[in-house]
Amino acid sequence: MRTYAELPGLMTVMTGDEKHGPSATSTLDVLWVLYDQVLRVSPDRLDDPGRDRFLLSKGHGPAAYYAVLAAKGFIPESWLAGFGSAGSRLGYHPDRNLVPGVEIASGSLGHGLPLGVGLAHGLLARGLVTSRVFVLVGDAELDEGSNSEAIVYAGAVGLSNLLVIAVDNQSSSYGWGAGGIEAHFAVSGWSAARVSGRDHAALASALSASGSGPRLVVAAVEGKSVEGKS
Amino acid sequence: MNDMRTVFAATASSLLDEDPLAAVVLAEISADLFAKAAARHPERVLNVGIREQLMVSVGGGLALAGLRPIVHTYAPFLVERAFEQVKLDLAHQGARAVLVSIGASYDAASSGRTHQAPEDVALVDTVPGFSVVVPGHPDEVPELLRSAVGALDSRSTYVRLSSKANRSALPVWPGLQVVRSGREAVVVAVGPMLSPVLDAVGDLDVTVAYTTSVRPFDGEGLRALLSGSSVVLVEPYLAGTSAYLASAALAGRAHRLLSLGVGRSELRRYGTPSYHAALHGQDATGIRRSVLDFLT
């Protein structure tokens, strides 16, 4: 198994870039903490109904995701070099039908959270009450109205096995006002926390907590506007 | 006699009792018909409010959890409003569901354009992995619904219900079935178009074939029935929706094809479904006029 320090090297195999800008790595720490400390998943239980489900809704810039999946043994590292090419299983947006361990195909924004609501319901209906559904969204992705449908509904029915991680790099053109993203979830009955998206201990603590309703963790990272200056 | 929607709700409620993996997702529409089932199975009868995007996505999520979801509302809100969810959260994921619509092309004639979806089958037809069934009578609904749920291991199905129905039900059959035989043409009647077709061609020397299954389309059956060269498709949705499949089935054989259905222009009229059927040439009078023009 690889370490966190080896992830940039795996990303370089994919992108060819020696350095990775904030946009490419905005999800890197969250993904690592999830797969390293939080999610009850592993390559040998891909079809275990009782596994946790991680849904990468923000499918853009998946190099960090593939790097973590390779580091944790879900996919061979040999797949990384062909990233995005005709024969590769690894596209610029991930496809669950092509990549082991990938729970949804994403790319078009605003689909992961509504799918996660159905998945959370389905796990409860099957009596799989210890499995949790984690959905990673971007702050600008929340512009999509389909998320609002899911946020209000999930709060109202109290889906306590659902957790959303909003990676906030302040890329939404109109933002979320003084209360931030968390205010929009909290008003619908979600518990919410904001932590640094680079602080592994804080992320692990916030992502492991559970309560009586759905939970939001805002993972704050550097603004997208600084991309290219790193 | 109960209408298709009532029969659907009763059959789906029975499926919820029989199958611990069956689920129903609603967006307020028909929630009253599922009240008893929801009381028995609160974890598998989900009403998400007036949120059709979420309704379809929840269907996809339930399927990913291993359930067999039935997703139901008015046709325009199910297929058109939530089309990307049908395309991505079901088909692209490899998640399967049975979508059941009401309203058809102009059942809600007096409600206006917002509640009408003559384009629904053409749209669903662009999504890989979907079968489409169009019952012609309420008594055909239980078997068609049960078959669709039973087939979820291999495909999704769009079930198009209508308040319009034939005078009597026929046995459910996956392809074309001959109702009467003739020599001058084969007239294919889809779902509730059978009674108006039979009224229209009663004295004409034509074969009338009936089908409730339009995807997959029974092209082989059409080839086998055609002794002459003239084919008439009578569909209760957008005219020409199945024309390309009839043409493909008859490729290499000299043939002529007339496609009848709902027109593409927006009428901006209210009134009754019968009035709209007449405006679109979908009543017996209109069908007869079109068939006679085609054959002479």
Model confidence over B43-71: pLDDT tens digits? 999 999 999 999 999 999 999 999 999 99
- Does B92 sit within 8 Å of A120, measured CB to CB? no
Once rounded to an integer, what is the mean pLDDT over residues B69-77? 98
Q: What is the pLDDT of residue A230?
A: 34
* Candidate from B43, B60, B92 with C-beta closest to A118: B60
Query: What's the token pair of residue B225?
Result: 């029935």
Distance (Å, whole) CA B185 – CA B222: 11
Q: What is the pLDDT of residue A143?
A: 97
pLDDT tens for each residue of A81-116 = 999 999 999 999 999 999 999 999 999 999 999 999
Confidence of residue B29 (pLDDT cuts 50, 70, 90): very high
* Candidate from B21, B49, B58 with C-beta closest to A118: B58
Q: What is the pLDDT of residue A24?
A: 73
Nearest to B257 by CA among B280, B232, B226, B223: B232
- Asked whether the beta carbons of A136 and A57 are under 8 A apart, the reply is yes
Q: What is the pLDDT of residue A225?
A: 54
Q: Looking at this predicted complex, what is its ipTM?
A: 0.96
Q: What is the pLDDT of residue A23?
A: 67
Percent of chain A topping pLDDT 90 = 86
Q: Quick one: closest CA in A to B90, which residue? A: A115
Query: What's the token pair of residue A217?
Result: 């963790």
Is A115 an 8 Å CB contact of chain B?
Answer: yes
- Does B61 sit within 8 Å of A117, measured CB to CB? yes
Chain B neighbors of A124, CB-CB under 8 A: 43
* Candidate from A95, A122, A146 with C-beta closest to B64: A122
Query: What's the token pair of residue B46?
Result: 């989900």
Chain A neighbors of B60, CB-CB under 8 A: 115, 118
Chain A neighbors of B23, CB-CB under 8 A: 122, 125
Q: Which of residues 77-106 of A touch B (CB under 8 A)?
A: 95-97, 103-105
pLDDT tens for each residue of A152-209 = 999 999 999 999 999 999 999 999 988 999 999 999 999 999 999 999 999 999 999 9
Range of the structural domain that residue A17 is part of: 4-226
Q: Half-sphere exposure of residue A105, counting CA atoms within 13 Å on the CB side?
A: 19
Name which of B16, B93, B96 to mutate to probe chain A: the one with the most chain A Cβ atoms within 10 A of its Cβ: B93
Chain A neighbors of B28, CB-CB under 8 A: none
pLDDT tens for each residue of A39-79 = 999 999 999 999 999 999 998 889 999 999 999 999 999 99
Q: Which CATH number fits domain B177-295: 3.40.50.800, 1.20.810.10, 3.30.70.3290, 3.40.50.920?
A: 3.40.50.920
Q: What is the pLDDT of residue A17?
A: 83
Distance (Å, whole) CA B122 – CA B44: 30
pLDDT tens for each residue of B234-287 = 999 999 999 999 999 999 999 999 999 999 999 999 999 999 999 999 999 999
Q: What is the pLDDT of residue A18?
A: 79
- The total of structural domains in chain A comes to 1
Distance (Å, whole) CA A188 – CA A190: 6
Is B28 an 8 Å CB contact of chain A?
Answer: no
Q: What is the pLDDT of residue A228?
A: 40
- Does A120 sit within 8 Å of B64, measured CB to CB? no
Q: What is the pLDDT of residue A22?
A: 72
Distance (Å, whole) CA B41 – CA B142: 20
Min CA distance, B28 vs chain A (Å)? 13
- Does B51 sit within 8 Å of A153, measured CB to CB? yes
pLDDT tens for each residue of B154-212 = 999 999 999 999 999 999 999 999 999 999 999 999 999 999 999 999 999 999 999 99
Is B87 an 8 Å CB contact of chain A?
Answer: no
User: Where are chain B's structural domains?
Assistant: 4-160, 177-295
- Does A105 sit within 8 Å of B58, measured CB to CB? no
Is B46 an 8 Å CB contact of chain A?
Answer: yes
Q: What is the mean pLDDT of chain A?
A: 94
pLDDT at B90 over 60: yes
CATH of the domain at A18: 3.40.50.970
pLDDT tens for each residue of B203-242 = 999 999 999 999 999 999 999 999 999 999 999 999 999 9
pLDDT tens for each residue of B106-148 = 999 999 999 999 999 999 999 999 999 999 999 999 999 999 9
- Cα-Cα-Cα-Cα torsion A19, A24, A26, A31, nearest 10 degrees, comes to -100
Q: Judge: domain B4-160, CATH 3.40.50.170.
A: no
Is B59 an 8 Å CB contact of chain A?
Answer: yes
Min CA distance, A96 vs chain B (Å)? 7
